[in-house]
Chain A
Amino acid sequence: MRTRPEYKTGDILTGPIRGITIERIEWYDSAMLSAATNELRQVGSNIHTDPEYAKSQGLEQVNADGMIMANWCSEMMVHAFGVHYVARGELRTKFIRQVLLGTLLHVKGRIRSATPQENGNVTYVVDIWCEDQHGMKLTEGDASVEVAA
C-alpha cells in the first residue's frame, strides 16, 4: 500500500545526523565503484582517502565526497516522501564548503511550499541543507516532489 505523505509550508524535515569518518568515506567510494562494476570493490587512493595525495592537490586534508551529503539529503527525502520522491523527485545540492573528518553532519529540510495541482496531486518544494555541529552550513540546495493523489 502506498502512503500519501502530507506536509504544510514551514514544516521541518529531519535527516540523518552522522559523523564524518574515514570508514564512511571509504564505504561510499567503495560502494560507488562496486555499483559501477557489479562486483565488490575497495576504493584506492584519492583526495577523500589519501592525506598525502589530498595535500598534493592543494587541500589541507582529506574531505568527504560531496555525494555522501547528496545521498544523505536524498535519504531524508526518501524517508519523507517514499516512492513519490523516487518516481518524481528532484534534488539539487551545492557543496559550498569542504566537509572534513570529525564533522558531525546534520541533514535538515524545511517545506518551502505545498501546492495542490488540478489533478489532486500536491507539489512540494523543500529547502535542504547540511550543517556541522556548530551550525555552519556546508551543503545547501533544494528538492521538489510531486505527491500523487
Chain B
Amino acid sequence: MLGGYISDLDKGDVFEPVEYELTPFMCTEYAHGVEESSELFHSDLNEIGRQARPPTMIHVDKMRILEKNCLKEQRIAGMKGPDARIHYEYHAKQHSPAYVGEKLIVTGHIVDKYVLRDRQYLWYFLEVQTADGRLVTTYNDRTLLRFKKVGEAR
C-alpha cells in the first residue's frame, strides 16, 4: 500500500515516479561522502569531458521514491517508522552514464514481499531514465523490514 509506512508496501505496488535534475553538487557531495576520488564524479575535467554521477547513486533514487510514496515514513525528512530496515542486497546495472544537467525520471515497483528464515524482506525494482528516454540504471534491492524476527516484540 502506498502512502503509509515503508513496511506497508506490498507486492505489486507501483510507485508514483520521481523526476529531478542532476546537479554537480549531488554528484560531488555523494562521491565525497564515500571517499570516491575519480574525477568522473567531481568535475568535467576528465576523460569524457562531462561530470557523471556515481553508479551507486541509484540508492539515493530509492530514498527519493520512498519519500514520495511512503508519507508516514519520510526518511529524508527525518521521520522514523515503527522499525528500522536493514539493507541486504544491492544489485545495479548501468546502461549508460547519467550526466550533470540531465533530468532523470525514476520509476519502480515492489517485486515481492516475503519471509525467509523468520525475517520479512521487501524486494524493490527501480529504473532510471533520462527525460528523453535513455535508460540509465536498472536496480534490484532486497531489504529486511526489521532486524527482529517475525513475531518478536518491538
Q: Is the beta-carbon distance between B59 and A32 smaller than 8 angstroms?
A: yes
B96 surroundings in chain A (CB, below 8 A): 87-88
Q: Is the beta-carbon distance between A91 and B30 smaller than 8 angstroms?
A: no
| Cross-interface CB contact of A35 among B57, B84, B97, cutoff 8 Å | B57
Asked whether A18 and B97 contact (CB < 8 A) given A36-B63, A46-B84, A85-B55, the answer is no
Does A114 interact with chain B (Cβ within 8 Å)? no
Please report the total number of B residues contacting A with Cβ < 8 Å: 47
Instruction: Tell me the bound Cα distance from A90 to B152 in angstroms.
Output: 36
Instruction: Tell me the bound Cα distance from A68 to B30 in angstroms.
Output: 11
Contact stretch, chosen from B5-13, B35-43, B110-118, B124-132: B35-43
Asked whether A86 and B97 contact (CB < 8 A) given A58-B147, A72-B34, A92-B90, the answer is yes
Asked whether A66 and B90 contact (CB < 8 A) given A34-B30, A57-B83, the answer is yes
Q: Place the interface of chain A in its size category.
A: 35 or more
* B interface footprint on A1-36 (CB within 8 Å = 1, 0 otherwise): 111000000000000101000001001101111111
Contact stretch, chosen from A37-45, A115-123, A130-138: A37-45
Does B16 interact with chain A (Cβ within 8 Å)? no
User: In A65-104, which residues have CB < 8 Å from any B CB?
Assistant: 65-68, 70-72, 74-75, 78-79, 82-83, 85-95
B98 to chain A, nearest CB (A): 9
Q: Is the beta-carbon distance between B33 and A34 smaller than 8 angstroms?
A: yes
**A interface residues, Cβ below 8 angstroms from B:** 1-3, 16, 18, 24, 27-28, 30-38, 40, 44-47, 53, 57-59, 65-68, 70-72, 74-75, 78-79, 82-83, 85-95, 141
Q: A-B pairs with the 5 shortest C-beta distances?
A: A31-B33, A71-B34, A66-B87, A35-B30, A92-B91
